[in-house]
Every structure is written in structure tokens, then in C-alpha cells.
Amino acid sequence: MHGRQTDAVQHGVSLILHHGCGARCDTKAPTVQQVQVGFGEPPKFAVEVKNNCPMCPVIDIHVKCGNFSQAVVDPRQFKVLSYDDCIVNGGLPLPPLQKLSFNYSHSKFLLTLKDWHFQCE
């Protein structure tokens, strides 16, 4: 019986740690920031998407992107799926505290976070 209790305690600790990881990331949503870096015609913008969770990769990052022009950026980094829905990094994981950055030259597009998932194991 002692072995079963130990297994249950170890299993319980594992579940708590797994849940704790997700709970910690809930307040660490990814961020999308853009800054104008060129003032010619057209202007140039630097965009940074960051995973702010210190413990878990973030996957399937979708961004509200209006009528973003796919022609201005590599679709492996930022792909237009439909009007107002773009996906970062092809939906692949962005490791904890990592950034993905790209530039585009065009009039400014409003880019805001739409949806994402943490991949805690």
C-alpha cells in the first residue's frame, strides 16, 4: 500500500506542476508590437511577436491583421489566412521568452493579438 500512496503522491505532484505551468502562462499572453523604423514612401515598420511565458512554448498565434498584404513579408514568418486573420511562424511553436521579428514597407497595418495556445507538457 505504501508504494501505491507514493505513486499517487508522485502522480499528484506531476499534475500540480503541469497545471501550474499553464496557470503561470495565463497571465503571460504573447505580445505583438510594431515600431516605425523608416520614414520614406512607403514607410517601414518592424514587428515583434514575443512569447512572454517563461515556461511553455506558444503555438498557433493568430493576429488580427485587417487587409494585410502578403506581398510585403515572408509567409513563413507571417501568413495571411483570410481577411483579419494572419498566423505567426506557420503556427509552429515559439519557445519560452523568444521573439519572432519581421519588417514590412507599406502604410501601417493595425496588428493585434487574436488567439493562441500554450503547449505545456
Our count of domains for the chain comes to 1
* Between 60 and 22, the higher pLDDT residue: 60
The DSSP secondary structure of 41-101, one letter per residue, reads SS-EEEEEEE---SS--EEEEEEE-TT--GGGS-TTTEEEEETTEEEEGGG--B-TT-EEE
High-pLDDT (> 70) share of the chain, %:
79
Strands 44-50 and 112-118: unpaired
As a whole number, mean pLDDT of residues 42-66 equals 96
pLDDT at 23 (0 to 100): 56
Mean residue pLDDT of the chain comes to 85
Full residue range of the structural domain in which residue 7 is found: 2-118
pLDDT band at 12 (very low <50, low <70, confident <90, very high): very low
